[in-house]
Amino acid sequence: MTQRESAPVNVQPAQRVGPVAASSSGFSGEASAGLELGEPARHARLRRGRWALQISLLVADVLMLALATAFAYSLRQALPGFGRANDLSANVLDSGLIIALGWLLAIQLFGGYSTGLIRTGPELYRNLLHASLAAAGIVGAFLYLAGTDLSRSFFVVLFVVGPLLLLLNRVTARRIVNLLRRRGHFRQDVLAVGAPVHVEGIARTLHRESWLGYDVVGAVVPVQAHPGPLDSEIPVLGTESDLIDVVRRIRPSVVLFTAGSAASAEQFRRMAWELEDQEISVIVVPGLSEISSDRVRMRPVAGLPLVHMDLPRSRESLKLGKRAFDVITSASILLAIAPLMALLAVIVKLDDGGPVIFRQVRVGRNGEPFEFLKFRSMVTDAEALLQRLQEQEQDRGNDVMFKMADDPRITKPGRIMRRFSLDELPQLWNVLRGDMSLVGPRPALPREVSSYAGDVHRRLAVRPGITGLWQVSGRSDLSWDETVRLDLYYVDNWSFTQDVLILGRTVRAVLSSRGAY
């Protein structure tokens, strides 16, 4: 995470969990020591940044709607069998302003310009699609009642192509904003409230997910808390009885209540009253972690915000639908790429005359071993050389899986195949015969499984996959703990939609070749 070292906040903390954390404040990165003087200016910059983002989205939407209109017009005039609509140009000019204004207003009403939703892409995209559907219905009804004779085929094409272009705007905006946050811009200082152990966990997550743009600059803990040694260096600025005073003193952008907070409903309400005019957001993190949003539902009952959580979904991932998708998709891909696989087989064979396919025992679902297939990308005596390389302990990817960024065992064709994951294509046969799935945890070696401890065995509850969250999140660049975290998240939160999204992200990960060695 892009950060700059900052001086300690000028307060007398009740206790400390360590030295002051590094923090990047807003756009210019003012030091925490200057918070009392710098906060209003930083809030103003953040507000201007949000306005700039909203205006940019609006301008981009107008351009995309104009492009969609031009495309729909051209396609309608070129459609065979419909004839040329001579009055279409005049009708489009008459109704174009009404369509654009109605569409943009619907996007605004459905939250399509909410900068706060940039962090939660799916909700932003869903709001945009709902707004486009509402705009199609309302604008269509208005044009009908007004007696505007607009081509139906033009209207349908416009409201099919338009939402796709508008979604492209949001995807692009998210990528730009996330990149800026990683580089130290659009960042917000966070005051975390709760038990030190939970503050520590939140701080680690926010540090890891730097694209969120949050920096924990201080903690407020329960009166009875006795923090032990923690990894991150976050100052304790007081106890929860001092919360309002601490907020007024350091003026954070966000007050975040973690699990272990002793705040009551009345305290939350008073906090909201105090923060109403100070442009300080309040976030509540429940005692739930690594749970996807579609497993959680908020249902207020009698004034109580009850959170209902679905059970883990490892069993769901083994049902017939996922298996049918694996079989149909893997068979179709194998047929489509058969010439490519034949070419790769010839290249591997001609390189050193060794076997084309590398076969290895891997551990599948419920610990069952299976024969894992790959195009051979290493020298024929690679396994014999492994012990010597392990003893050198160079460039270890993590403590459980042996990975080297410049492994001398890899052949010249192997380097190219690994760069674009072409060596993994034979695993489609593993998928077809039921050993693996298209998406799932990384297939483990028996020696790796023998070193598993505790919850890590849950990775074996589902079929391993050719790709997965580990594949689209960095591959060999990931630490072992991060690999396990991603795999367990997938096992517990499986959904068909997530599988499709991972397959889509895999294409980008393969082309970028990040972590591929």
In a domain? residue 309: no
- 487 neighbors 442 (Cβ within 8 angstroms): yes
CA distance 151 to 155: 6
Do residues 174 and 274 share a domain?
A: no
Q: Which domain holds residue 163?
A: 47-182
List, for residues 121-141, the tens digit of each pLDDT value.
Answer: 778 888 899 999 999 998 888
- Other CB atoms within a 10 A radius of the CB of residue 206 amount to 19
Last residue of one domain, picked from the residues 156, 182, 208: 182
Q: What's the Cα-to-Cα distance from 362 to each of 27, 314, 366, 436, rounded to whole Å?
A: 49, 20, 12, 10
Is the pLDDT assigned to residue 28 strictly greater than 60?
no
The pLDDT assigned to 80 comes to 59
What percent of the chain has a predicted confidence (pLDDT) above 70? 78
Residue whose entry in the numeric block shows the structure tokens 């998210």: 174
In a domain? residue 310: no
Do residues 160 and 218 share a domain?
A: no
List, for residues 320-363, the tens digit of each pLDDT value.
Answer: 888 999 999 999 999 999 999 999 999 999 988 889 999 999 99
3-state DSSP assignment of residue 167: helix
Do residues 359 and 218 share a domain?
A: no
Element (H, E) at 193: strand 188-193
Length of the chain as a residue count = 517
List, for residues 451-484, the tens digit of each pLDDT value.
Answer: 888 888 888 999 999 999 888 876 656 777 788 8
For position 282, which CATH number holds?
A: 3.40.50.20
Q: Which amino acid is at 374?
A: K
The pLDDT assigned to 513 comes to 58
The pLDDT assigned to 20 comes to 37
Range of 10-24, 43-57, 277-291, 320-334 with top mean pLDDT = 320-334
Do residues 204 and 255 share a domain?
A: yes
Confidence of residue 432 (pLDDT cuts 50, 70, 90): very high
In a domain? residue 71: yes
List, for residues 47-93, the tens digit of each pLDDT value.
Answer: 787 888 889 999 999 999 999 988 988 887 776 555 555 566 777 77
In whole angstroms, what separates CA 112 from the centre of its chain?
A: 19
List, for residues 207-250, the tens digit of each pLDDT value.
Answer: 888 888 898 988 888 876 655 444 567 888 888 878 888 888 88
The pLDDT assigned to 302 comes to 66
